[in-house]
Structure 1
């Protein structure tokens, strides 16, 4: 039996691809999950015992938070502005969060359907601070698929 290549399982860097455009240098991705409702079916068996069966329900929409270093790229701000002013036909986008290995080869894609920005947060501004200033965007999406 071959041993798994654990070097490939290290998420070295991440990217967000939206409408075919790659937004690289994402520092952190959190909250990425697939979830669905649970339906409880309560019934009695033939011999009179009470049981509860759990059945899969509808998929739930989700939210993911992406953090990157602040740069001159204003793509996040433009996207948030479209959603803020109700231009949802241009704000809702298809995209994917891509995880790369050390060699820059994509190892996983998380495809997001009808994603749009819920919020954009700029890191703390402190006089004399030497930490990197970041921007954090929260995307809400209707469906996620793993490719």
Structure 2
């Protein structure tokens, strides 16, 4: 039988400490991405930030009925960025740093600076930064310059880049702002 907590001992979980009357979680449509100290124009979609930790199972020699689990290597999933096709060449310029066709032997890859740290800012409905993530040592493993073209379609042309990364963390310096009333 579960223990009941007397009302005087109940602990209220405040999900928004600076805005305790806020009930709704943040919406996922208000964000900006930055690399090389500049915001990247027109990014309309960013895939989820995901990490997976390998499970190492083992058993004690004398205990044949139970296995134990321990954390192993952690891997960070690639991040896909999408945006409507424009004249801004930021995606292509970065992809060309990883491999430039016809650049000549030894200069196809910009080894010194093809990796970049990326900064992802997440905003509330009032346009205030509420969360931010630092994504480390990114480089493009896939660049899609054009989508499949279809003369019978009325869709926006989407450019895509997939970024490999070596980890990310929440920026602890970004704190919840007091929201305007």
- What's the TM-score bracket when you normalise by the shorter of the two chains? 0.7 to 0.9
Equivalent positions of 1:83-94 (< 5 A) are 83-84=98-99, 85-94=108-117
Q: Which residue of 2 aligns with 1:60?
A: 75
How far apart, CA to CA, are the structure 2 residues paired with 1:61 and 1:134?
25
How far apart, CA to CA, are the structure 2 residues paired with 1:51 and 1:44?
10
Question: Is the CA contact (8 Å cut-off) linking 1:111 and 1:144 kept in structure 2?
Answer: yes
Q: Unaligned stretches of 5+ in structure 1?
A: none
Q: Which residue of 2 aligns with 1:129?
A: 153
Equivalent residue pairs, number: 145
Q: Unaligned stretches of 5+ in structure 2?
A: 1-11, 15-19, 100-107, 172-181
Q: If each structure's strand is expressed as a fraction of its own residues, which one has the higher value?
A: 1
Q: TM-score, normalised by structure 2?
A: 0.70
How far apart, CA to CA, are the structure 1 residues paired with 2:157 and 2:52?
32
Does 1:110 pair with 2:137? Answer: no
Give runs of ≥4 in structure 1 deviating > 6 Å. Answer: none
CA 6–82 in structure 1, closer or farther in 2 if over 3 Å, else same: farther
Higher RCO (CA-CA < 8 Å; seq separation 6+): 1
